[in-house]
A and B are shown apart, each in its own frame.
Chain A
Amino acid sequence: DQQVKQNSPSLSVQEGRISILNCDYTNSMFDYFLWYKKYPAEGPTFLISISSIKDKNEDGRFTVFLNKSAKHLSLHIVPSQPGDSAVYFCAASEVTGNQFYFGTGTSLTVIP
């Protein structure tokens, strides 16, 4: 059973606008969350993370929001650029555990 879900397989956004990628999880024990970005024919690369003691973390154009009560996190990219076109995976883990659980990915296309 998928413990981390990304319900939108794809998303298209105009360059310069905001991209919002969503992720839901079912395991209330998860307390650390990460976003990875993947280009074709490459391995995923780390983008941004957030621990459950925070509800927001920013890094440049990327912001991750965490709503623990809703078991939901989102990644905001502002402004979106064509180079952001990639597949985005969210991942979750328990700080006291050693396993990672990834979502199914959202393919973002930023249209110039």
Chain B
Amino acid sequence: EAQVTQNPRYLITVTGKKLTVTCSQNMNHEYMSWYRQDPGLGLRQIYYSMNVEVTDKGDVPEGYKVSRKEKRNFPLILESPSPNQTSLYFCASSYSGPTYEQYFGPGTRLTVT
């Protein structure tokens, strides 16, 4: 089954404790991206990757890091989480770039206290 998986689905952590949210897709997609969803702000793009070893900033990259060492995986790293990073995070992938539909993961609900 074609899918994007994210782990964990729910995470409660404390300020400053490094964490990684994993994302994996099994569709051999080139393009992968991370979004955060906040009330009244919709979905905002954090980082995206056009292919292995190619990553770039989206609209709200501050406080986040990503890596793309393999085509299927695109982890999101919060080196020192802060309460303003409490949000719902979605990973997505598409065949290649913005003219192709994106497939989204189920989301990761992160709470930073």
Contact = CB atoms under 8 A, between A and B. Distances in A.
B58 A51 contact: no
A73 B36 CA distance: 24
Query: Chain B contact residues (Cβ within 8 angstroms of A): what range?
Result: 20 to 34
Interface string B21-33: 0000000000101
Nearest to A49: B101
B102 A46 contact: yes
Interface in A56-112: 89, 91, 93-95, 97-105
Contacts of A100: 33, 45, 48, 98, 102
Given A46-B102, A98-B31, A103 B42 contact: yes
A98 B97 contact: yes
B31 A43 contact: no
Interface residues of A, number: 28
B45 A43 contact: no
Contacts of B48: 98-100
B28 to A, nearest CB: 18
A99 B43 contact: no
Contacts of B59: 99, 101
Contacts of B4: 43
**10 closest A-B pairs by CB:** A43-B104, A93-B98, A46-B101, A104-B42, A102-B43, A102-B42, A44-B104, A43-B106, A43-B105, A105-B42
